[in-house]
Chains A and B, each alone.
Chain A
Amino acid sequence: MGSSEPVGASRPEPEPSAPGREAPAAEREPLILSVQHFCIHDGPGVRSLVFFKGCPLRCAWCQNPESWSPRAQLGFKPHLCIACRTCVEVCPNKAVTAPGVRDHGRCRLCFTCVDHCPSGAMVRFGEPRSVESIVDELRPEFPLFRQSGGGVTLSGGEPTMFPRFAADLARRLKAEGIHVAMETCGEFDLAAAGDLLASLDLVLFDIKVFDDAEQRRWCGVGNNRIKANLRAMVAAAAQGKGPRVWPRMPLIPEAIDTPRNFDKWGGLLQELGIPRMTLVPYHNLGDAKRDWLGISAVSLVKSDPDRTAAGHPRRVPGVDSCAPGEEVF
């Protein structure tokens, strides 16, 4: 603490610099990381999560580092590799020199190796998907969503990076009577997200480090806009003009899980009249995913899932808090 050096992974990622991959001015078509089924801790009922690829933050503790870049990425899961060397043989650019060893400069992200890898060790992160194909994949689960009072949660990554696509998806689901929630880090252009927000029932709003400079140090981006968006969205919800807003806070030791940070958030949340929130236990599962992506782990934060209130009561003053899955939405 105290240093102004960023602790997060705002370092350059090992990615090829193929032409045409820089963000165009208009909204790019999102890549979808995955659709995860039978989730019960990300909104009410039984839900499916649609993970968007791309995030403006680079939190040091991120559990989904494959969701940072909005571009498709190549990953390698060493525990699945059977060392058959197919990847070495099929790469048209001779970028793979040995299983799991890739010359990033040569790789053109053609994913030939992924198509041919027999074991699924070579993986592609991020697929272009149409709204229809996502809705079609989810449709067989609609009866379960209805039965359980669940629905779909847009997650990521950061869905607000793709406001048109996300709004379209949310609208299509709403039209079929499906409850739609979104998880967001709060760092987005509120005006651009108007349509999207209007199509949502619930926003799970991640709150992290209260202090702007501190958050910048941990996450690469400060949080003045995040707090402003939170204020505006809560105000809109209060007037019935926007989705319900439910804050969630990951319990990151040192950075977030500190009495001072709790107190400060407590002040703001009380001021906004937010009665309830979720505290999300932290686990560094993300480290494995960093290995798959070839990003060195920022192992600053140790896994401590069973840590109890060491030294402070872990209460956000004035706000009822509960664990994921215990919310009464």
Chain B
Amino acid sequence: MQAQVARSAAPADFPEPSERISRLRATMLSTPYSVCLERPSLLAAFAGSPEGRRARVEHPLVRRAMALAHIFANRRPHVYPDELIIGNMTSKRIAANYYPEGGSVNILEDIFRLERRQIPLFLTPAEKWRLVGLGLRGLPGSVAGRALLKPGRLGRFLDFFRAKRYFITEEAGVGHQVGNYMMAVRQGLRPADEEAAARLAAGTLADGTPLDSDTTAFFRSVRVTIDGIRKMTANLAAEAEREAARPDVSPERRAELLESAEACRHVPYEPARTFLEGLQACWLVHVAMNLEDFEQGMSFGRLDQILWPLYQADIAAGRLTATRATEILASFELKTCETMPLYSERIDQYFSGNGVAQGITMGGTDADGNDVTNELSGLILDAYAQCRTREPALHVRVHAGTPAWLLDKAVRVVQLGCGKPSFFGDPVVVRALEEVGMTKAHARDYAIIGCVELASQGRTYNSSDACLFNLPMCLERALIKGRGTLRTFDEVVSAFRAETRSAVDDMAMVMGWLEETYRVWRPTPVTSIMTEGCLAKGRDVTWGGGLYDYTSIQAAGFADAADSLYALKKMVFEDRRFTLDEFVGILQSDFRGQEALRVELATRLPRYGNGQPEADAMAQVAADAFSDAVRAHRNTRGGQYIPGFYSMTCHYGFGRMTGALPDGRPAGHRLSNGLSPVDGVERRGPTAVLRSAASLDSRAWANCCALNLKFDKKVVEGPAGRHALASLFRTYFAGGGMQVQVNVLDADMLRAAKEDPASDPGIVVRVAGYCAYFRDLQPAVQDEIIERTAHGLE
């Protein structure tokens, strides 16, 4: 009798990569990382050139556009073997771009050990010298330098290096956009160029308002910038043609290169005519956006929607097959691995993982709420299954009408163990975006910026990763300042809220200085062209041109703050085990001589993440303290400040700076991560974690949140695991969940959990027929599971 059971065959679930994709992937995985010095060199050359001298007396918007156009027009094009989407991100195969006007100078901290870093960087000795020269020369001209190297602000400049209460990412750049790729692909940049020309000729905005010097400068900056982009793409086309003309090129490759050249002569200025041209247009504009501001979080939006008509037309005309489309998509996705961030190891503890998070969003609804998942949604996932690389970031929107096949395929990708894609609950996300002023139709057209942040694609200027915020430290400070005066728990909460408010106020003041500096020294014409609203208003995004404008602040240590509030309430005000002053004294001594108390606090009290209403209620108190403080501000562009709940890896960096907390966390220990519970406190499994998270009122969280679940591969493998995860997600989103991502554990994570059980985030592993918490296993059994995970054994 033949077995009638469904067998798991994860790799075979996806189409095999072509040899080309396998080769490209191998190249991207084996190429060492470096730093590209072309961009800063071109900027320096421009500054010293006659044109650069002319630019100095121009309006800041034009001055900036001229500098950027110089970079675009003069960078050397490279076309690499095998690739179907062309356009080099840097002068090297994989490198970080260098932004002297941003925060790249931090890399000089590592200059003597670049090759020995955890993420090694390889430069020739001459390049290192050049890097030092460019870095030091650029420092006073960086945004942070211009904004903060001033009398009275120096302390804030140093704050950047201390990063205790907050970490202002915006000093490095704004980045983080979902540009209007729908426009770039379907209309091209020509209408923007012509509109700018028309405005300049008419001397008025579209609504008849006469142009002033600022709006005039804006329209000029648009034209200069688009001209630069056209030169860049023409140079690239010429390079592809040169490649094609080489005698050793095969006829097939020659045809591909000529097709690419033809595409680059057409897009992104003109509308794309084919699927390939559509992706090529996205990539070219993406390169321009990367070269403009900085590399973080530059995202493509809803590519399955943007490319769908082109795909359909190509298929109908017999020009394309699904297999070929997948190959083109895989080539595109591998292009995203050409870039990387430039962090010193000190900064890396806040943003570890070498990610820039170029997001692609799949699925979701149209403006009326109808599902618009299509075949491309799946092909993008298929292509990623062939790549399995650190980039791009993949995001799946889930709503009641999401077809089962998409969720199933997305979970198959999760099973590959790369931590992608992440999942977003449409109803809750859309509601949060409507709360901050988006129309329902625009909110429903949301796409993910970078990791989890939100934008209505092509209409939003969201400085979405402006700042990360240490929430538990506000509680710590409130308790210390309030010694002898706080008498009730309500007073503790008020003091915590006041401290949070004051820290956010401080931060917003610094942010205001940065925003002013951006307007003068670092406007972003490419982003402005790619953001609806700017052409109508005649304003750069940094001047408030975007249709929607936000600045987003993210809380780290959310669950630690929540659980600490609960512990205070219970131990001091309900059980009266200590006075508040005694308790604060114990915290200040870092639980010296009080290990039993510390362990009791850490293990015996109700905690957020177990579906216990009393603990989850405190999570809401902590979330509201932060949301209210953030939402009380507007940026200097007039945009609303909005809160998010994710922490990159700031929970490590901030943790070092934060003293002992009432929830039993010792001083210096890392804080909780994003919206996740404190590591190791979940006792009731992932269903309870998701229930706690979904129970929170997230209407104010317009910059979303990150909730990590971690599973042993054995728990989620096979059809049963897939079905379980898909059901888990559906139930979570139906119950009000906002976001969730799953990590399938690797051996290193398990080793760390074995070494330091306190770091074990409630990892559930499968031991033969049983699921158990990893921390509950005997060391020998733990070793076996580590072995099994390391070797991928059955």
Q: For the complex, is B3 an interface residue (Cβ under 8 Å from A)?
A: yes
> Is there an interface contact between B767 and A285, defined as CB atoms closer than 8 Å?
yes
User: Among the interface residues A40, A143, A327, A328, which one has the most CB atoms of the partner chain B within 10 A?
Assistant: A40
Q: For the complex, is A39 an interface residue (Cβ under 8 Å from B)?
A: yes
Q: For the complex, is B409 an interface residue (Cβ under 8 Å from A)?
A: no
B707 to chain A, nearest CB (A): 15
CA distance A250 to B769 in the complex (A): 9
Instruction: Report the stretch among A14-22, A220-228, A274-282 that lies at the interface.
Output: A274-282
CA distance A144 to B788 in the complex (A): 30
Chain B residues within an 8 Å CB radius of A148: 723-724, 727-728, 731
Q: For the complex, is A318 an interface residue (Cβ under 8 Å from B)?
A: yes
> Is there an interface contact between B8 and A144, defined as CB atoms closer than 8 Å?
no
Q: For the complex, is B212 an interface residue (Cβ under 8 Å from A)?
A: no
CA distance A285 to B727 in the complex (A): 29
Chain B residues within an 8 Å CB radius of A312: none
Q: For the complex, is A140 an interface residue (Cβ under 8 Å from B)?
A: yes
Interface mask (A121-153 → B, CB under 8 Å = 1, otherwise 0):
000000000000000000011011001111000
Q: For the complex, is A324 an interface residue (Cβ under 8 Å from B)?
A: yes
For chain A residues 277-319, which have a beta carbon within 8 Å of chain B? 280-283, 285, 287-288, 291, 303, 305-306, 318
> Is there an interface contact between A282 and B768, defined as CB atoms closer than 8 Å?
yes
> Is there an interface contact between A46 and B727, defined as CB atoms closer than 8 Å?
yes
> Is there an interface contact between B7 and A326, defined as CB atoms closer than 8 Å?
yes
Q: For the complex, is B777 an interface residue (Cβ under 8 Å from A)?
A: yes
> Is there an interface contact between A305 and B784, defined as CB atoms closer than 8 Å?
yes
> Is there an interface contact between A320 and B767, defined as CB atoms closer than 8 Å?
no
Chain B residues within an 8 Å CB radius of A281: 768-769
**Total count of chain B residues near the partner, CB < 8 A:** 53
Q: For the complex, is A272 an interface residue (Cβ under 8 Å from B)?
A: no
Q: For the complex, is A86 an interface residue (Cβ under 8 Å from B)?
A: yes
> Is there an interface contact between B794 and A306, defined as CB atoms closer than 8 Å?
yes
Q: For the complex, is A84 an interface residue (Cβ under 8 Å from B)?
A: yes
> Is there an interface contact between B720 and A325, defined as CB atoms closer than 8 Å?
yes
Q: For the complex, is A232 an interface residue (Cβ under 8 Å from B)?
A: no
Q: For the complex, is B632 an interface residue (Cβ under 8 Å from A)?
A: no
Q: For the complex, is B369 an interface residue (Cβ under 8 Å from A)?
A: no
Chain A residues within an 8 Å CB radius of B730: 147
Interface mask (B771-794 → A, CB under 8 Å = 1, otherwise 0):
110001111010010001000011
CA distance A141 to B781 in the complex (A): 30
Q: For the complex, is B439 an interface residue (Cβ under 8 Å from A)?
A: no
Contact of B724 among A38, A120, A320 (CB under 8 A): A38
Chain A residues within an 8 Å CB radius of B600: 118-119
Q: For the complex, is B1 an interface residue (Cβ under 8 Å from A)?
A: yes
Q: For the complex, is A36 an interface residue (Cβ under 8 Å from B)?
A: yes
> Is there an interface contact between A322 and B771, defined as CB atoms closer than 8 Å?
no
> Is there an interface contact between A285 and B599, defined as CB atoms closer than 8 Å?
no
Given contacts A63-B770, A147-B731, A280-B768, contact A82 B686 (CB under 8 A): no
Contact of B595 among A82, A149, A288, A318 (CB under 8 A): A82
Contact of A38 among B2, B7, B771, B793 (CB under 8 A): B771
> Is there an interface contact between B723 and A45, defined as CB atoms closer than 8 Å?
yes
> Is there an interface contact between A283 and B734, defined as CB atoms closer than 8 Å?
no
Chain B residues within an 8 Å CB radius of A320: 1-5
Interface mask (B758-772 → A, CB under 8 Å = 1, otherwise 0):
000000101111111
> Is there an interface contact between B771 and A39, defined as CB atoms closer than 8 Å?
yes
Chain B residues within an 8 Å CB radius of A150: 727
Interface mask (A246-276 → B, CB under 8 Å = 1, otherwise 0):
0000100000000000000000000000011
User: Among the interface residues A275, A280, A285, which one has the most CB atoms of the partner chain B within 10 A?
Assistant: A285
For chain B residues 3-58, which have a beta carbon within 8 Å of chain A? 3-8
Q: For the complex, is B201 an interface residue (Cβ under 8 Å from A)?
A: no
> Is there an interface contact between B768 and A40, defined as CB atoms closer than 8 Å?
no
CA distance A92 to B259 in the complex (A): 86
CA distance A119 to B595 in the complex (A): 10
Given contacts A41-B720, A328-B6, contact A285 B597 (CB under 8 A): no
> Is there an interface contact between B5 and A322, defined as CB atoms closer than 8 Å?
yes
Chain B residues within an 8 Å CB radius of A283: 767-770, 781
Contact of A325 among B599, B686, B721 (CB under 8 A): B721
The residue of chain A having its C-beta at the shortest distance from the C-beta of B601 within the complex is A118
Given contacts A40-B720, A41-B769, A283-B768, contact A328 B5 (CB under 8 A): yes
CA distance A324 to B788 in the complex (A): 18
CA distance A327 to B8 in the complex (A): 11
CA distance A246 to B537 in the complex (A): 70
A269 to chain B, nearest CB (A): 12
Chain B residues within an 8 Å CB radius of A86: 596
Chain B residues within an 8 Å CB radius of A39: 771
Given contacts A45-B723, A120-B603, A148-B724, contact A322 B3 (CB under 8 A): yes
* Contacts beyond the supplied A140-B687, A285-B777: 13 A-B pairs with Cβ under 8 Å: A38-B771, A45-B724, A46-B687, A79-B757, A119-B596, A119-B599, A119-B600, A119-B603, A148-B723, A285-B772, A288-B776, A288-B778, A326-B8
Residues of B within 8 A of A (CB): 1-8, 595-597, 599-600, 603-604, 611, 684-688, 691, 715, 718-721, 723-724, 727-728, 730-731, 734-735, 757, 764, 766-772, 776-779, 781, 784, 788, 793-794
Residues of A within 8 A of B (CB): 36-42, 45-46, 63, 77, 79, 82, 84, 86, 118-120, 140-141, 143-144, 147-150, 250, 275-276, 280-283, 285, 287-288, 291, 303, 305-306, 318, 320-322, 324-328
**A–B complex contacts, Cβ < 8 Å, 25 sampled:** A38-B686, A38-B764, A41-B766, A45-B727, A46-B687, A46-B724, A63-B770, A119-B603, A140-B611, A143-B731, A143-B734, A147-B727, A147-B730, A150-B727, A285-B770, A288-B778, A291-B778, A305-B784, A305-B788, A325-B720, A326-B5, A326-B7, A326-B8, A326-B720, A328-B4
Q: 5 nearest interchain CB pairs?
A: A148-B727, A283-B768, A118-B600, A37-B685, A325-B720
